[in-house]
Amino acid sequence: AVRGVVVMWRDAVPILARLADVRRDVVLVTLSAAAIAAALLFLIFRAAQARLTRQTVELVESTRRDPLTGSLNHGALVAHLADEIERARLAGLPLGVALVDVDNFRLLNDNHGHDAGDHALVAVHDLLSAHLPDGVVIGRYGPDEFLLVAPAGKVAELEPAIDGVRTALADLSLQFETTERLPVTISAGLSTYPDHGSSVT
């Protein structure tokens, strides 16, 4: 026989509502954290990619540059000259080329060492860079030679620019250790495409 029934009852709606709120907050926090992490990773990878791209460009460019003067090296210079000759051929325009040689360079190296020769090369390169008109490309063609490539609009300015360098060199002399000050001079040969030749060679 049933003597009595005790029933305990509680409305679960508020509890379930609070659980739903907690679940929603957890989802929002998780999604926010994921979004922030994704944004940070994106920025980190983008910065890393930009750095790798920049380093790759610098590495490729370093293979085209003379380490002493920073100008184009022999291979890059010949490639540039070939491109410019082809461009001049297609456009029917002239192209100026000058080969500048540092006089007595071997004697300077033999008597005063390679540092002295390097110093002379840098001095000549800096003067050439300062006197050449914009658009003329300079590069180190040989151990003591620089090659200048002038596009059509600058061909007429090439010879006066080299004369300016020769004049400036008259005021330049180098001293190594206890030696007297030594003058630095250059010799230069100028030619024009297509008047003096139709190919790089």
Active site (catalytic) residues:
144
Pick the closest to residue 120 from 167, 44, 68 (CA basis): 68
Q: Is 141 helix (H, G, I), strand (E, B) or coil?
A: strand
Q: Which residues contact 66 (CB under 8 A, 6 or more apart)?
A: 72, 73, 139, 140
Yes or no: say if 167 and 188 are a contact pair by the CB < 8 Å rule: no
Distance in angstroms (rounded) separating the CA atoms of residues 130 and 161: 9
Residue 124: exposed, middle, or buried by beta-carbon count in 10 A (0-12, 13-18, 19+)? buried
